[in-house]
Structure 1
């Protein structure tokens, strides 16, 4: 009987071992959560795999749930962490994760030359390859684009029904809305955002509140609206299509009584290693690769037209280089974003 069972036992024991071997082979060397649009980031991740031989499982945010979805996943997975690296397309939610204790310090040698304003003092995240908030204008519908100067033009009655702003509950529009509270003060920011939100409930809203920056771009490039807020990467997509559009960097001129320009918000990508990253060594290699000058240059020359944060990195002429940036504290943005989000949800989900 013993001899009869032995081959059977070997077969039974061999089956799960074989299956386990297959599972082990299918496991990635690195798991990266990515909030930068997949169309812009996927090619870079594939290039990293090709150069290093490491396999990467990249998981992406949806456009409508940009940034917030993956941040919530990281928080929910705290007891059983899956993610090694978080590549965010903005900064406030990354700062929030750092403040909550989810990120590990790491000073990448590739970060040399990145200005301090784009680096966490404790080394938990690093910013690179920024976008600017901008206005996309349909030149066939706007006879004098030079008459549009900045954020307050959105509320000008002469533009009522012809302009758009993305709902500021996710992604860069959320970061932008939160930054306004610091940049122009609580009262003015609340007045601006409340006017947009309350108007969106009307049958003919003065400002169309769209689902995303990609949607505001589409409304303008298609000629449905005259102009809208978006990001420089979304504008560049329309430019490359040959759409009749131009970009305006808002609030670049001095304010009343010689006040300095408000400037436009500059929003860097950020990258960070999770505190309990299962694949720490591979995570460091990936961060080093992404933060290199070569990758930042590629992002500048790509369809997303990202703005290098290092002056030494080459860029094409259409990538903004000489602009007045809004004076904000990224640390303050991250500390306040949870409370600001609650305020914005009250405004825009129940206008």
Structure 2
């Protein structure tokens, strides 16, 4: 097991180092606290964590960071990790930890609240909110947006597309691309995009802003960033538009943010209570109303204006098979993108 974890850690640790380190912030935690390692941005879910504290009475402390970096941190810490719960931006990082037996089985009652396709097939993690990959485009310069990510390598889009190779949701998309289209085609697409002048940004927000500012014509992002900006600025304050890709295109991946409980945690009951809250109506309504993601439990409506969740035409891929995050990062490194 130690050899497996060490082998898995290499590409993740390299990425963490390239991005400034995984959790090397000197943060310490009280032994009596429930510790959540969150790959979700503090600005996005910090208010939800505050609501969790109030609703459950738990003493919750949080380490925020990139999902891949935090997965590397947990692998490096091993049995000595202070993480009790891993709250990941995507299924891939959760799957990577599950594959290396770092996550404990979740209570079946919690798993049953979410459709099987949005949770681990082994029962070690469960999705708490859904999102779709989309193409954001500038209608002032783009009459007809592409209908597939494979069209983005066309010379007419040279130097006009933004992406975020270090972002967890992009890395999960590339993992899905590898699973759906095969290793060779995924590598060829990355190389062709790089040769076509795709511009790298640190996150989805900066890609969206670049399109709105006329610096890009197209960008690869998650849907909810656009809807959050529209909610803040009004529809007339956001010039860009979204294209949902049809026909099961890999660029239309429907992924989840999710949670898993660390194996060996000394705060198992508190961890279950936190997971129960995230899969309850209050938190699910927060995802729908505040972050503009899709709630995953029954009875909580989607935010107005979003396409119905069951209308999204993402590729048929088992999210548990996005656990090969290490291979994706190695491919991105080989192509020179991280």
TM-score range, shorter chain: 0.7 to 0.9
Q: Is the 8 A contact 2:132 2:312 kept in 1?
A: no
Query: Based on CA coordinates, which of the two structures has the bigger radius of gyration?
Result: 1
Q: TM-score, normalised by structure 1?
A: 0.80
Gaps of 5+ in 1: 1-24, 200-204, 254-259
Among 320, 334, 338, which residue is 1:331 paired with?
Answer: 320
2 CA distance for matches of 1:173 and 1:296? Answer: 24
Could you tell me whether the CA contact under 8 Å between 2:167 and 2:202 is conserved in 1? no
SS of the counterpart of 2:200? strand
1:297 aligned residue: 285
The answer (yes or no) to whether the contact 1:84–1:279 under 8 Å persists in 2 is yes
Rounded to whole Å, the distance in 2 between the matches of 1:117 and 1:174 is: 19
Query: Which residue in the other structure is 1:247 paired with?
Result: 242
The alignment partner of 2:185 has SS state of: helix
Q: Which residue of 2 aligns with 1:279?
A: 267
In the alignment, which residue of structure 2 is the partner of 1:133? 133
Structure 1 distance, partners of 2:184, 2:122, is 33
Instruction: Spell out, residue by residue over 1:278-319, the C-alpha distance to the aligned partner (whole angstroms, 9 max, x if none).
Output: 3111111101111113322220111x2111234542112223
Matches within 5 A, 1:223-242: 223-240=214-231, 241=233, 242=237
Q: Residues 296-347 of structure 1, C-alpha deviation per residue, up to 9 Å, x if partnerless? A: 2220111x2111234542112223322112111222220x221222121110
Assess if the C-alpha contact under 8 Å between 1:104 and 1:275 holds in 2: yes
Using the size of structure 2 for normalisation, the TM-score is 0.83
Q: Which one of 203, 223, 229 corresponds to residue 212 of structure 1?
A: 203
* Equivalent runs, 1:91-170 vs 2, <5 Å: 91-107=91-107, 109-142=109-142, 144=143, 146-167=144-165, 169-170=166-167
Which of 34, 39, 44 pairs up with 1:40? 44
Q: What does residue 257 of structure 1 align with?
A: none
Rounded Cα–Cα distance in structure 2 between residues aligned with 1:262 and 1:282: 37
1:182, 1:46 → 2: CA distance? 37
Give the corresponding residue for 1:320: 307
Q: Does 1:221 align with 2:212?
A: yes
Q: Distance in 1 between matches of 2:95 and 2:110?
A: 20
Q: Which deviates more, 221-230 or 182-191?
A: 182-191
Looking at structure 2, the residues matched to 345 and 268 of structure 1 have their Cα atoms a distance apart, in angstroms, of 25
* CA RMSD, Structure 1 to Structure 2 (Å): 2.2
1:181 aligns with 2:167: no
User: What are the Cα deviations for residues 97-121 of structure 1, in whole angstroms up to 9, with x where unaligned?
Assistant: 0111111112153443311112223
